Amino acid sequence: MSDNDQNDIAEFGQPCPIRDVLNQIGDQWSLLILEALAERTLRFNELNREIGDISRQMLSRTLKRLETDGYVSRTVYAEVPPRVEYTLTPLGRSFLEPMQKLIQWADENHADICRSRRRQHEQQQEQARG
Amino acid sequence: MSDNDQNDIAEFGQPCPIRDVLNQIGDQWSLLILEALAERTLRFNELNREIGDISRQMLSRTLKRLETDGYVSRTVYAEVPPRVEYTLTPLGRSFLEPMQKLIQWADENHADICRSRRRQHEQQQEQARG
DNA sequence: CTGAATCCGCCTTGATACTG
DNA sequence: CAGTATCAAGGCGGATTCAG
């Protein structure tokens, strides 16, 4: 598999930390999952219902990656029917602290961003007509 | 004209603020550009050199989107040869404040994440052999 | 110098169906 | 219940070329 050391960068992360982190959690679903798990431990299908519009496919993949990176821990109970619980690790929990600041910023400034988009869009329209 | 003419939701933003923001700046280059501009105002080719491994194509695209969203302002000087300067808007500057916290977190925890990846990877290797 | 336009490969994502 | 396998589609990013 990793017969050479060149693959290590690809497998174990870029040298730039923030780029690596953003690549991992900047996708469609990771943050939503982490926030859902911030409330409480959840099972697979509970997460599925909680998020609503995620497919089991993507939920499974994203959870696996979050687990690989150490944000989430996965516990399997030897029961019938099977039960698997997902919960935040300390790392995942600590990640949400700075992220909350960013979420707050997004909430406060999203309207401005949309306004800017609208304005730029209208200017382009005018230029197109002019 | 543009790469694609999308519908209003794509142009003016998703209803969820943080998802919208992350989709915009969570790409390969946006954050690097914002950080470069946090130091000082830069011209197009200065940015190109500063970042190093970005193509002019992507630099142009990303700058345009950052301008559209209001993070960056673009000033054209009527000179020969042409000169275009990019600088952060107040919005862009305010965005970097919470983002700095996240960058700091990434710097501090990146090693842990890589360690976790390595460990998970080795466990999978063992399971494959077992 | 500062981009825009075009073409193209890859990766992510989604839909669907199947397994234990 | 908790996933995995497979296939198809679209977006992202890169290389190259053209333009003002």
Question: Residues B115, B123: contact at Cβ < 8 Å?
Answer: no
Cβ of A28 and B12 within 8 Å?
A: no
Answer whether residue A10 shows pLDDT above 70: no
Q: Which residue has the higher pLDDT, A124 or B18?
A: B18
Domain coordinates of chain A in residue numbers?
3-128
Which pLDDT does position B9 carry in this prediction? 47
List the nucleotides on chain C closer than 7 A to a protein CB: 1-6, 12-17, 20
Cβ of A121 and B70 within 8 Å?
A: no
Fold of B3-128: Arc Repressor Mutant, subunit A (1.10.10)
Q: Mean pLDDT across the stretch B42-46? A: 95
Whole-number Å distance between alpha carbons of A73 and A89: 6
List C-alpha distances in Å: B85 to B32, B33, B38, B45, B94.
17, 13, 13, 10, 20
Which pLDDT does position B11 carry in this prediction? 58
Q: What is the pLDDT of residues A19-38, one digit of tens each?
A: 889 888 888 899 999 999 99
Which pLDDT does position B7 carry in this prediction? 39
CB atoms within 10 A of CB B109: 18
Q: What is the pLDDT of residues A31-57, one digit of tens each?
A: 999 999 999 999 999 999 999 889 999
The pTM for the full model equals 0.87
Q: Nearest CA to the C1' of D5 belongs to which residue?
A: A57
Sheet bearing B83-88, strands edge to edge:
B42-43, B83-88, B72-77
- Whether nucleic acid strand C comes within 7 Å of the CB of A57, the answer is yes
Q: Nearest CA to the C1' of C15 belongs to which residue?
A: A55
Q: Nearest CA to the C1' of D16 belongs to which residue?
A: B57
Which pLDDT does position A129 carry in this prediction? 64
The angle formed by the CA atoms of residues B18, B68 and A20, to the nearest 5 degrees, is 45
Which range among A2-6, A125-129, B51-55, B100-104 shows the weakest confidence by mean pLDDT? A2-6
Nearest to B12 among A17, A94, A117 (CB): A117
Q: What is the pLDDT of residues A88-104, one digit of tens each?
A: 999 999 999 999 999 99
Q: CB-based contact (8 Å) between B117 and chain A?
A: yes
How do A42-43 and B42-43 pair as beta strands? unpaired
Q: Take residue A50 and report the two structure tokens written for it.
A: 């909680």
Whole-number Å distance between alpha carbons of B2 and B94: 28
Q: What is the pLDDT of residues B56-94, one digit of tens each?
A: 999 999 999 999 999 999 999 998 889 999 999 999 999
pLDDT confidence band for B130 (50 / 70 / 90): low
Answer whether residue A3 shows pLDDT above 50: no
pLDDT confidence band for A2 (50 / 70 / 90): very low
Whole-number Å distance between alpha carbons of A113 and A102: 14
Q: CB-based contact (8 Å) between B53 and chain A?
A: no
Which pLDDT does position B107 carry in this prediction? 94
Q: Which residue has the higher pLDDT, A42 or B127?
A: A42
Q: What is the pLDDT of residues A50-89, one digit of tens each?
A: 998 899 999 999 999 999 999 999 999 999 899 999 999 9
List C-alpha distances in Å: B27 to A27, A56, A119, B24.
9, 25, 23, 7
